[in-house]
Each structure stands twice: as C-alpha cells, then as structure tokens.
Amino acid sequence: MTEVVPAGRGLRRVIGDGASVPDGEVEGLDESDFLELYRQLVLLRTYDERSVVYHRQGRIGTYAIFWGHEAIQVGATFALDRGDWIFPSYRESAIGLLRGLPPATVLSWWRGHPAGWWNPLDYNLASICVPIATQVPHAAGLAWGKKLRGEPTVALTFFGDGATSEGAFHEGANFAGVMRAPLVLLCSNNQWAISTPLSAQTAAPTLADKAIGYGMPGARVDGGDVLAVWEATRDAVARARAGDGPTFIEAVTYRVAPHATADDPSAYIDAERVEEERERECLRRFDGYLRRLGLLDDETAERVKAEALEAMREGIAAAEAEPAADPELVFAHAYADPPPTLREGLLGG
Amino acid sequence: MAELTLVEAVNDCLHTELARDDSVLVMGEDVGRAGGVFRATAGLRDRFGSDRCIDTPLAEAGILGTAVGLCMAGWRPICEMQYDAFSYPCLDQLINHVGRYHWRTRGAMEFPITLRMPYGGGVRAPELHDDSPEAYYVHTPGVKVAIPSTPADAKGLLAAAIRDPDPVVMLEPKLHYRTMRGEVPKGEHVTPLGVARTVREGDDLTFVAYGAMVPVAEAAADLLDATVEILDIRSLKPLDEDALLAAAAKTGRVVIVQEAPRVAGFGAELAAIIAEKAMLDLQAPVVRVTGYDVPYPYWQIEDAYMPSAERVAAAARKLLEF
C-alpha cells in the first residue's frame, strides 16, 4: 500500500465478480462491520436516488449526483475515527449522514434554505465545498494544526479528478507533504469533470503518480470496491496517525450519471460504456459479495432499503416543513462583529 | 513610549501579541529564518519557536488556505504576504472561504485570520512590488481592512486585527517602513478598528486620506494658504462614517486622496457616502486625487503616477475657488 503504483498495474480490489474473478479478503472487519458498510451504502444510494426524484418534482434545487461513488465515500469514512475530520466537496454532500447528520439538513442545503447548515465541530465535518479543490488546503491546515497541538487527529479530504488540475490541490498537497500533516487525500476519479475526460485533464499516466511530486505515497484502488477503499484508507490513516504524513489515494470509478441534475451528458459521453460501468456499480458488487459469504439475504436487504427510504421520507418531510426562512438571516453571521454600516441600503437607505 | 520606525512598530506588535496569546502564530514566506524580507517578523522564530513563526512553501493561496484549517484547529494565524501584488493568488481563498466560512457555519466557527502585507509605491522597485490593492479586500464581504499611516497605528491597528474575531487585512505602507519614525506605546497597545484619526484641524478645506497618502495630504496642506482639516481614515472597514461626515460638513469642501488606481477605488466609496449623507453640507463637488487606471509604471516614471502634494494642492485650490 505504501508503494507508489506504477502506471498500467491493476487496481487493488477485494470483491470478485462471482465468476472468473475470485473474492479476496480483508483483515480487521467482522460480520457486523460488513452489515454496517452495507447499510451505509444503501443509505447513500437511497439518498442520491431520492434526491434526483425530489429534484424532478421541484422539491430541491440543482443537485450533484453521486450515484456510483458510494463505495468511495463509505469505505473511506469507515476507516476514520469519529474524531477525525472530513473535508467534502459537493460530490460528498450527504456524507454527514454517515455521522448522524439528519437527511433533512442536507436536503435543506440543496433546497437553498438557511436550515441547510451544520456546525462542523459537531460532526468533525467541514462545510460542503463548492469551488473545486479549495478545501484541500483547509484539510491540510487542520491536520497540520492538530499536529502542532499534539492531538492525534487525522483529516481526510475528498475531491475529484478535475480537482487535481487546480492550483489549490497542488498547494494543499504540497503543504501537507512539507508539514508532514496527518492527511489523507482521497481522489474520486470518476474520469469526467462535467464533459472533460481525464485524458484532457492530465498527461500523467495515473493520478496516483502525482503523489511522487509531493513526497508522499500514492495508491490506486478500485473505487467500486468498498473493501478496497476501506483498506487503503485504513493504511493511510495509520500512517498519518503514526506521524508519517499524508497519503494520496486514487479511487477509480466511472461517472455513470450526469454531473448534476442540470447536466445532459448525451452530448459528450459514450452511452455503451456507461451501460457497461453500470453493471459494475458498487452496491450491487458488495451485495453479491455478502450473499456469497452468506451474510445477506433478501429479507435483510429489503429491511435495510426500507429503513433508508423511511429516513428519506422523514427527511424531505422535515425539510419541507421548515418555516419560510427569515430574511433577517441575510444579515446574520456575515461577521462575528459586524460593521455598523452592514444594513446600509435597506429600504432605500 | 519608544521611538520606532513603522516596521519596528509592526515587529513590536507581533512580539507583544504572540507573547500575550499562545494560539497566535505567524506564517509566510521567509518570515522565520530571515525574519521577513522587511524584518517585520525578526526575532519571532528564536523567541517563540518554528511552530509559531513558520516558514511556509512559496504559495500564497496555500498560506491563506491552510490558515483556514489552522483556525478550525484552534489557531489564530497571522499570514504575511510578501508584497501587495503577490497577494493576488490568495484572493481565491479570501473571497471563496475566508470571508464566508463564519457565515457558512451560522456563526459557530470563527476565522480570526490576520492577513498583513506591505503595500504601495514610491520605493523604486520592480513591477508588482508597488500596488495598492485595498479595494479588492474592502469589497469582500466578511473581511475587514485597516491601513495605518503612523508607527503607533501600525502597532495598535495590527493588535486590534489580531484580536478581532473576524478576518482582517492589514496593508502597511512600505514606503514608510523605515522612513517614518514615531512615538509608539510600549507593551500592549490597541487602536480600535472603526475609529478615524483627525491628523490636524482646519476650517477651509478637508483632506481625507489613509496610509501613505496621509503624509502627502499633510505636505499639500502646508502648500496652501488655508487651514485644512485632515482625516486619516485608517480603518476602511469598519468605517468611521461619523468622523467622515463631520469632517466633510466642517468645511464643505472635500479632497479625497487615494494612491490606488482611480476607477472603483475606495475613494469612490468615500465620495458616494458624502454625496448620500452630507450633500447639504457641501460647498463644492467632492474631488478625488488618485492614481490612474493604468498598470503601476516603471519606477523611473512612477512619480508621474503617484498623487503628489502638488496635485493635491492644485485640486484644493480649485475647490477653494469653486
């Protein structure tokens, strides 16, 4: 894991295909962990699918779809302690659900309602970062700052393949390397940045190769394999906590959904490839893995799905039951100690 | 009291504030081993250690971006940008995050970052060592801005910035880092943000300036056969509007002096406030003497760009004759 993977090597994977590719094993997870991973995958999948429906129904605004990325988000988060920090991009908007954040809060965020916020200190979860890659230096700074305080906290930041072209990614990764910050840089490489394919994003053979330039190890894993992602993140977190600094993980998947509800990928994407990739989607693969191990049956699967659907029903109902936001909130919190002229111009001055 | 240069006053403040609060740290390019290219951070690394006076990689957006995370870990970072124009890469973090994160967290988290930098021209330096970028910063919601014109205020305003719960940008007139000396209170010294300073009182005309333009305004006043009220804005946000309007009303004739390029500069904001709220006190139009809407010039001709005492005095004479 701590070796940089050269271009052309296969991705680390654990879950087989039930046919020609045999299942592997991971150490350190028991039966209840497997079922919890399954529950979390279903929760995020359900959140995502229902959100697209809510968008079509006009109940939330533009929404960034993460269908097919659940294994990356669940596997990585499961490798963290509750005290470790997560710095999400918008692609991980609902990752707080894995730490008990109510679905209504995230749905409110996508509804553009001021109720859609959380205190990062309550969940050790930074706010959703909308501009690309700019959360990477935040995560590096938090990890470095905790280290300066002698606290054992690790930070993990998610970003996409397009983000690796941004200066903020470079500066954040470089700071983390120089400061030996306990940081995990987790790249969800879904091979598309809206309409721009990975080949137009970088000339590097793999994104993990970039790790060399920052003096940190890079790893490539199958991003559709929740156990492979978990294992790679676990190793990276152990390195970070031991004082050995940051790790870059490239979790490779494929974006089979539009970038967001406002996107029409038919203009640029290969529909056949999308269908092939859909067949390899992460939840079905883990479902098959658990069934081959005899750990999952229809009854359990249906119960888990029903619970997730119920959580979403409650979530959208709670979000829609929010009273109309007080316009006074326009002025709230822009400053801790606001200038006296903040309301200049209100009602014509 | 001690007589210090302006940059010595900055250094005195940093020593005082790092000693006062052990969550305060200084970070930037060459701030540690070298003590800063202007020696503003001299002695901090030896006294407080390399964890509290940190030489960073050469990356302005990285400095400010990691400072956001340092705040989340409980630190109060003072970020040095080596020069005014070198700060532009950090505007990405400033606009997208530094000015928004307190709001984004509904006030649950504070981001008490101080972003300090030398600014301004007249120092015979290469391109991009001369800019006056205050308008970019003042225009950013969630961010406060102060610009001292004296050694005492360089110390006092910086202390206020460091202790403020909001992000504050401090622009220090590098022209006067070593050319200006003044009495500076020893020990803790805080000049509150939001309070302008009356530099001198007069009845015929009012000059409004900040930073390196305050001494220009004083020199211009000395050229006139009139008594001039001079107001040093020194805190651009929060702005002391009462002092501005009172100084305008006192004489009814106002010249605003601004080193930055003219268009949409902070002087335009000051003029607009006077127009909105002191119209009936005015005897003449509000006039701006500013830099021009051009890239800051080669230093052999920079004096043709910089507002001079003569330009300010010429504007003043027109106003007096209006």
What average pLDDT does range B54-81 have in this prediction?
98
Q: Which two tokens stand for residue B263?
A: 């268009």
Closest CA–CA distance from residue B27 to any residue of chain A (Å): 12
User: Which residue out of B22, B26, B55, B72 would a mutagenesis test of the A interface target, given it has the greatest number of A Cβ atoms within 10 Å?
Assistant: B72
Q: Encoding tokens for residue A73?
A: 């988000």
- Determine contact: B76 vs chain A, CB below 8 A: no
pLDDT of residue A2 exceeding 50, the answer is no
pLDDT at A9: 54
* Full-model pTM: 0.96
C-alpha–C-alpha distance, residues A68 and A48, integer Å: 10
Give the strand order in the sheet containing B197-200: B197-200, B228-232, B205-209, B254-261, B287-291
In B36-97 the beta strands, taken as DSSP E runs, fall at 53-55, 76-80
Q: Any idea what the Cα angle at residue B137 is, between residues B131 and B138, rounded to 5°?
A: 115
Q: Do B59 and A175 touch (CB under 8 A)?
A: yes
Lowest mean pLDDT among A14-28, A154-168, A223-237, B293-307: A14-28
What is the pLDDT, as a whole number, of residue A18?
87
Q: Does B262 score more than 70 pLDDT?
A: yes
Size of interface A-B (CB pairs under 8 A): 143
Render pLDDT for A3-53 as a digit per residue (tens, 0 to 9). Answer: 444 444 568 899 998 889 999 999 999 999 999 999 999 999 999 999 999
ipTM of this complex = 0.96
Residue B195 touches chain A, beta carbons under 8 Å:
no
What are the two backbone dihedrals, phi and then psi, of residue B259, each rounded to the nearest 5 degrees? Answer: -75, -30
> pLDDT, tens digit, for every residue of B224-235?
999 999 999 999
Known catalytic residue at A47: no
Average pLDDT score over chain A: 95
Pairwise CB contact (< 8 Å): A131 & B96: yes
Are A175 and B56 an interchain contact pair (Cβ–Cβ within 8 Å)? yes
Structure tokens at B130: 């001369």
Residue B47 pLDDT:
98
- Residues with Cβ within 8 Å of residue A266, at least 6 apart in sequence: none
CB contact under 8 A, A119 and B108: yes
Q: What is the pLDDT of residues B189-231, one digit of tens each?
A: 999 999 999 999 999 999 999 999 999 999 999 999 999 999 9
What is the predicted pLDDT for the residue at A6? Answer: 44
Q: What is the pLDDT of residue A347?
A: 61
Length of chain A counted residue by residue: 349
Residue A344: what pLDDT?
Answer: 85
Kindly report the average pLDDT of chain B as a whole number: 98
**A135-148 and B60-72 helices, crossing angle to 10°:** 60
Catalytic residue (one of A268, A284, A313, A343): A268
Contacts of B75 in chain A (CB under 8 A): 145, 148
pLDDT per position as a tens digit, A180-211 = 999 999 999 999 999 999 999 999 999 999 99
Which of A134, A336, A337 minimises the CB distance to B65? A134
Return contacts of A28-35, CB within 8 angstroms, 24+ apart.
A28/A234, A29/A227, A29/A230, A31/A295, A33/A78, A34/A290, A34/A293, A34/A295, A35/A290, A35/A295, A35/A296, A35/A300
Whether A230 shows a pLDDT value over 60: the answer reads yes
B139 is catalytic: no
A126, A334, A341: residue with CB nearest B103: A334
pLDDT digits (tens, 9 = 90+) for A309-339: 999 999 999 999 999 999 999 999 999 999 9
Contact B239 A334 (CB under 8 A): no
Q: Do A148 and B73 touch (CB under 8 A)?
A: yes
- Of B79, B82, B105, residue with least CA distance to B94: B79
